[in-house]
Amino acid sequence: MGEVILKMKGIDKSFPGVHALKNVELELRRGEVHALMGENGAGKSTLMKVLTGIYSKDAGSIIYEGKEVEFTSPRESQDAGISIVHQELNMMNHLTVAQNIFIGRERMKGKLINDREMEREAAKLFERLKISIDPGETMGRMTVGKQQMCEIAKAISKDAKVIVFDEPTAALTDAEISDLFEIIRDLRSKNIGIIYISHRMDEIKRITDRVTVMRDGEYVGTLVTAESTKDDIINMMVGRVVYEDPKEKSSVPPNAPVVLKVEHLNAGKMVRDVSFELHKGEILGFSGLMGAGRTETARALFGADKKESGDIYINGRKVEIKSPQDAVKYGIGYLSEDRKRYGCIVGKSVAENTTMACLEKFMSGIFINKKKERETAQKYVDELKTKTPSVDQMVRNLSGGNQQKVVIAKWLARDCDILIFDEPTRGIDVGAKSEIYALMNELVKAGKSIIMISSELTEVLRMSDRIVVMCEGRKTGEIPIEKATQESIMHAATLRE
């Protein structure tokens, strides 16, 4: 590691009803990968938004390359050599991949934008990232994982001196993560300073040099990664040790009834002849590499995407699900992997988001019973330990993990019997993960049934009673938890017909 390139000291920031940052400090050296950790709502993303000019600080100083600075816009920080890969994707879905990467820095041919040149440069970036993405593809047609890789490519394309990665691997597969780490090591060798925000302990130990921990908007301390343990970091974050042991046997009784049966489901290229059953009180894990068709299967089942053929049975009765409204009517709730696009309305309050899937329960004539709505929302805020000053807070002002909890609350309020959780802990810290896991276990004990799609093998092995594995749109394996290992799942996930 080289000299200090960035030092933030005494940073303070408040919003209406929230003291988000209190006397926070952070030091980054050239050629260092510095982890920034803390539970959801700890203030990590807010601190980075202060650094990059998205928010103005109320107090404190930022020393960058030996000079005190205060950026008033993201463009200013980018021009100075600081790029950020946001946890929440900031892409224009109607534009191509190349147009997104070079937006605001378009390559010109005379007075016209040179799309061909931008696509050539984007292709070189993807070759370096070792991923297969068509630079001419429309951004909105791609999976969240591929959109995330485009966001990373966009940051790398700016020749930055400091790059902030905010949960960069949340939607990536293990193979994609390994490729990303190679890129990060390459950037480190070029003396670039990297701030790495993640909740995944194994990543922190693999890729970072030092760790700074925040809790409730305050600086807790900084550790040398090689000299600290996982428990040291977790105790600084949450004040307790959290264990993630794999499940050893199914908790579903052998005679548990089948609540959902899917036969020969087909929907586009990514859902080909998929069949499976879900039992009452079961957590059915869906595993596979990015692009395996897991999310597409869930969306076809939920009626969000049109199915071409196949039969769906709820409690033994054949049903037609042509829209999400049909799915909800039949007792199915869907927690999307992309909460910002499909899960919640960020311009509405926690209470309004909590009740939106069952608004009829809160109507008095043509009016909404606001008192009852707030009471219900408060119940789930308490149950899920959602960090918000009140249920009237706008969802856009919550951290990513707490937005996820609001989406979960929406389907709990609806009281659905079948819940599809697509990457339920994406972007959620280790303490909150355990709370979500405990909640899922309580739900199945109460008779609910859960389909859980996850890219984290440790999560699949910890939570599932049975595991369905997919590859390239087809079901390639079904493994009881007693026989499941990371190796057996990966073997099925790479089977190609």
Residue type for position 78: Q
pLDDT at position 194 is 96
**Which of residues 238, 266, 287 is at a domain's end?**
238
> 221 near 198, Cβ under 8 Å?
no
**CATH number of the domain where residue 385 is located:** 3.40.50.300
Q: For residue 200, is it within any domain?
A: yes
Regarding predicted confidence, which is higher, 366 or 174? 366
Same domain as 334, residue 191: no
pLDDT digits (tens, 9 = 90+) for 383-393: 888 889 999 99
Q: For residue 55, is it within any domain?
A: yes
Same domain as 319, residue 197: no
Same domain as 290, residue 204: no
Of 232, 214, 209, 212, residue with least CA distance to 222: 212
Same domain as 322, residue 232: no
pLDDT digits (tens, 9 = 90+) for 164-176: 998 888 777 777 7
Pairing of strands 474-480, 418-422: unpaired
Same domain as 151, residue 294: no
Same domain as 320, residue 177: no
Same domain as 274, residue 234: no
Collapsed DSSP state (helix, strand, coil) of residue 297: helix
Pairing of strands 218-224, 67-68: unpaired
Same domain as 201, residue 268: no
Side-chain half-sphere CA neighbours of 209 within 13 A: 16
Q: For residue 137, is it within any domain?
A: yes
Q: For residue 248, is it within any domain?
A: no
Q: For residue 353, is it within any domain?
A: yes
pLDDT band of 80, cuts 50, 70, 90: very high
Q: What DSSP string runs through 368-412? A: E-HHHHHHHHHHHHHHHT---S-TTSBGGGS-HHHHHHHHHHHHH
Q: Kindly tell me if the per-residue pLDDT of 230 is higher than 90.
A: no
Same domain as 189, residue 267: no
Same domain as 149, residue 289: no
Q: How far apart are CA 103 and CA 93, in angstroms?
A: 12
Same domain as 332, residue 229: no
CA of residue 64 relative to chain centroid, distance: 30
pLDDT digits (tens, 9 = 90+) for 1-45: 689 999 999 999 998 777 899 999 999 999 999 999 987 678 898
> What is the signed CA dihedral for 388, 392, 397, 398, rounded to 10 degrees?
30
Domain count, the chain: 2
Q: For residue 245, is it within any domain?
A: no
**Which of residues 208, 238, 268 is at a domain's end?**
238
Which of 144-148, 249-253, 319-323 shows the lowest per-residue confidence on average (mean pLDDT)? 144-148
- CB environment 317-340: b (16+ within 10 A), e (fewer): eeeebeebeebbebbbbbbbbbbb
Q: For residue 247, is it within any domain?
A: no
Same domain as 227, residue 87: yes
Residue type for position 410: K
Q: For residue 197, is it within any domain?
A: yes
Expressed as residue numbers, the domain containing 217 is 4-238
